[in-house]
Homo-oligomer: A and B are copies of this chain.
Amino acid sequence: MRMSAEERRESVVRAAMIEFARGGYRGTSTEAIARRVGVSQPYLFRLFPGKQAIFEAAAERCVEETWRVFDEASAGLTGEAAAEAMSGAYMGLVEDRDQLMMQMQLYVSVFAARASGEEEIGESARRLWEGLFERVRIRIGGDMRDATQFFAHGMLINTLVALGFPPDHRIWNGFDDTCDKAE
């Protein structure tokens, strides 16, 4: 039950990823996060300075986690083979949709923050994203257009998952062999 503050923070971040993924920043109460952690709501404010800080930690973790998935899937591979391995790994994430949705929540939250004047949070999010993009780009061979293509398909997958298209729906057919340029 009782654990160190660092361990608690860790479980808060994990719980926050799930709750924020489903409810968004405004739609998630700190109460809900605390309940998932199994701890009282006020205690969250001992571990983090505020709700915003919890969200930021979850967002950063989400991007790290995504790279970890890509990295493991494509270990030792390069170019086309790496791209295919990572695509497959990303499709696997469709199962636990929370990871994908946390990404989208990050994007719209950044926009909301920017719309109300807070630009610093946008800068750090762009750094995170660009870092992921660059690592992927290098891994698949360095071509800018290939990397763009890769991320574009990822973003479409996020959207289809958000809308809840079932895996056997015809809308998913367009992904078949989409990485093959040779006919």
Contact = CB atoms under 8 A, between A and B. Distances in A.
A181 B125 CA distance: 32
A159 interface: yes
Interface residues of A, number: 52
Contacts of A164: 110-111, 114, 119, 122, 126
Contacts of A104: 104, 107-108, 111
A36 interface: no
Contact of A163 (B24, B126, B153): B126
A110 B163 contact: yes
A110 B27 contact: no
A40 interface: no
Contacts of A126: 163-165
Interface of A: 22-27, 97, 101, 104-105, 107-112, 114-116, 119, 122, 125-126, 129-130, 133, 144-145, 147-149, 151-153, 155-156, 158-159, 161-165, 170-171, 173-178, 181
24 contacts: A24-B24, A24-B25, A24-B26, A24-B27, A24-B108, A24-B109, A26-B26, A101-B108, A101-B111, A104-B111, A107-B162, A107-B163, A111-B161, A111-B163, A122-B164, A126-B164, A130-B171, A144-B170, A148-B174, A148-B178, A149-B152, A152-B152, A155-B158, A155-B159
